[in-house]
Amino acid sequence: MPLKHQLLAVFVALIWGTNFVFIELGLNDLPPFLFASLRFTFAALPLVLILPRPKTPWRYLIAYGFFIGFGQFGLLFWVMGSHISPGLASLVIQLQAVFTILLALIFFKETIRWQQIIALIIAFAGVLLIGIKGNNDATFIGLVVILVAALSWAAGNIVVTRCGKVNIIAFLAWSSIFAVPPLVLMSYYYEGPVLISERLVSSPWHAWAIVLWQTLGNTLIGYGLWNLLLQRYAAALVAPWALLVPVFGMAASSTFLDESMPWWKWIAAALIIAGLVINLRSTQSSPPLIKGPLV
């Protein structure tokens, strides 16, 4: 991979990592499900009026919109409101890589190697450390919900692998249509029409700027560049660059939000990232230990 494409990969990781700071700032003015609703509404409109629907079954668009829109970002925004710090959220949600392997094993009879089992144990040791030492940085509910968000991201990854080669921007725009209804329903139920109306009218300009960045920067630019790299290079060559996301996330949270970085966070980060690295390296060598689904 030439230097310019390596820099693109680092740039995407920088966008995704620092995005956790922007989410935290946005939640100061917008309730979580309304925030997520606006993000995916603007991701869909006006692009769906310009770009033709990608040639993939409707069920994939619906599933991806639900898993990524509600399952990943809806839950992520909600849990970051008061249950987990931005830096830890950026770290734990990277377990989506491990969950993706497990879902592929269960549903599509893919293989699992002994190194991947070791990677799973090491990564979850890091999560366990966060659960034990988290205190105000991560409540038990926060840890559980962020793991569900990671699982939802993994489910979205599985959906993408079933879609074939499509225009990724069109796919993101059209699938975003199906993220909006469950997010709006949750916003109406959880946040209420009075709060929704008040925040839509009174939120300052910088809140809307953050929503716009969520749409353009994180969704369209970030995922657009990432998928350009995936179309040009093998996934095993591109995927490790995502390990920079929690590095940027934790550094940005510490710098801009004064998030503390005690020893246990560094150890938890090292365990989770080590597990992800072992998992990525294992895809390139050694025979599988288990073949077929676990259930």
Q: Where are the alpha helices (DSSP H) in the chain?
A: 3-26, 32-44, 47-50, 58-64, 75-80, 86-92, 96-108, 114-133, 140-163, 168-176, 180-186, 193-202, 205-213, 223-232, 235-238, 244-256, 263-282
How many domains does the structure of the chain reveal? 1
Using the predicted structure, report yes or no on whether residue 114 has a pLDDT greater than 80.
no
- Cβ–Cβ under 8 Å, residues 219 and 43: yes
- The C-alpha atoms of residue 65 and residue 174 are separated, in whole angstroms, by 8
pLDDT of residue 234: 56
Quote the pLDDT of residue 154.
Answer: 85
**What pLDDT score does 184 carry?**
96
Residue 166: left (phi > 0), alpha (psi -120 to 50), or beta? beta
Which of 31-40, 109-118, 155-164, 178-187 comes out lowest in average pLDDT? 109-118
Confidence of residue 15 (pLDDT cuts 50, 70, 90): very high
More confident residue, 57 or 136: 57
Q: What is the rounded CA–CA span in Å between residue 209 and residue 195?
A: 20
Mean pLDDT of the chain: 83
Task: State residue 293's pLDDT score.
Answer: 36
Residue that is written with structure tokens 């969950």 in the block: 99
Q: For residues 77 and 35, is the Cβ–Cβ distance under 8 A?
A: yes
Distance CA(65)–CA(63), nearest Å, equals 5
Give the pLDDT score at 223.
76
Tell me which residue range forms the domain holding 159.
3-291
